[in-house]
Amino acid sequence: MDLNTACMKTLAIILAGGRGSRLKQLTDYRSKPAVPIAGKYKIIDFPLSNCVNSGVRRIAVLTQYRSHTLNQHVQRGWNFLRSDFNEFIELWPAQQQTGEEWYQGTADAVFQNLKMIDELDSEYVLILAGDHVYKQDYSLMLKEHMETGADVSVACIEVPVSEADQFGIMHVDEDDNIIAFEEKPKNPPTMPGNPDVSLASMGIYIFSTKFLSEHLRSDALDDDSSHDFGKDLIPFFVGRSNIKAHHFANSCVKNESYPDVPYWRDVGTLTAYWESNMDLTRLLPELDLYDDNWPIRTAQYQRPAAKFNYNYEERIGTALNSVVSAGCIVSGSTVEKSILFNNVRVNSFSHVNKCVVLPRVDIGRHCRLTSVVVDSDCKIPEGMVIGEDAELDAKRFYRNEDGITLVTQTMIENIDKEQ
């Protein structure tokens, strides 16, 4: 089977049902894959774009937790594929198809949809997480999977040993056979010949469909299993099946400015989320969103261009080393090292520094914000200062140990109630 045909016979399943509780109040009313990122996108846009750009155009998005905004985004922004060519992006909500339980783990989420998977008659199944930011050509991983005759291929990335206890870690031989797999180990195995680096699973798997189906059915009958790929199935396959490690460096879409730095981020914490957005304000970001050969798509709406008003002393509308999205108005204020999402307004005499400001936020006059993540639809009252008094910020908002403050409209309204 040639590679183009193999891509057409591959079903991509994006696991997008998770809450992402480490993002705190950012996921109070949306799932983690629906969290806005990079000025105009949502996190789910990255695996979806990777699929389309890779030639994998049969895609199921599995949803569960507070999926309304995610469903709306996918329906409005990702409905361009040709059904007459057997291409589709479908939302598969949790439906309790195999019993009365909602999804119990990542493997159970796929198991509960086996009927639809079998009906599609695919040769391969590509399992993806819906909450990571990266650019990868899945066809190159599929090509390697076919050439090695693997039952399952696991995408992996090199991480420092000091961070390895946050991931599922693989031990491989010189032929990239996975000979051990440990979920978040205290003493992680290192790469052959490199004691400072471990191989971490990225939560990206390619299975032969028949192999996957058989083992999901067996796992579903195991009462001792948590029905999770990383915790149960992948460790079970080690020593029993042909399980291969695929190095992300071999299929990542490289940034010409950082050709030796494969970009992949799990933006699962507030600090990681803030840092990923801040990267885009640099002169040469590690994540290249300006690559026409690998576009990141999203839902497009009709918005005016960004506008900057006033040019008086102490009242100059300006943005420095920042990303300002469509629909924004910077009116007599200064935005520095920040990223403004769509339809943000920053009013006169305010200063916004190292902030991530989500869509439709209105920042009042004479405000000062430093190292703040402002959730969608917030109205920051005139004269409010956030990011300069750690004790006061912790009382009014959520402030983490790295000094990043998260502000939501509910928090602002609670301040008004207490006063």
Tokens 């198809």 — which residue? Answer: 97
CA torsion through residues 268, 269, 275, 280, sign = positive
Any residues with CB less than 8 A from the CB of 74 and at least 6 apart, and which?
44, 48, 61, 89, 91
Tokens 């803030």 — which residue? Answer: 274
Cβ–Cβ contacts within 10 Å for residue 316, how many? 15
CA–CA separation, 15 and 228 (whole Å) = 12
C-alpha 127 chain-centroid distance: 14
Cα distances (angstroms) measured from residue 110 to each of 6, 113, 181, 278, 386: 21, 5, 21, 35, 43
Q: Nearest-CA neighbor of 96 among 86, 109, 82? A: 109
103 is in an annotated binding site: yes
What residue type is 45 in one-letter code?
D
Q: 292-295: long-range contacts (C-beta < 8 A, 24 or more apart)?
A: 294/49, 294/53, 294/135, 294/253, 295/49, 295/53
Q: Identify whether the C-beta of residue 161 lies closer than 8 Å to the C-beta of residue 234.
A: no
336 is in an annotated binding site: no
Q: How many CA atoms lie within 13 A of 330 on its CB side?
A: 28
Q: Identify whether the C-beta of residue 33 lies closer than 8 Å to the C-beta of residue 21.
A: no
DSSP E strand boundaries for 54-196: 58-63, 88-93, 124-129, 132-134, 152-160, 168-172, 178-183
183 is in an annotated binding site: yes
Tokens of 356: 């991530």
DSSP bridge pairs for 208: 124
Range 243-276 burial, b when 16+ CB lie within 10 A, else e: bbbbbbeebbbbbeeeeeebbbbbbbbbbbbbeb
Q: Identify whether the C-beta of residue 387 lies closer than 8 Å to the C-beta of residue 372.
A: yes
Positions at the binding site for alpha-D-glucose 1-phosphate: 103, 168, 183-184, 201
Positions at the binding site: 103, 168, 183-184, 201
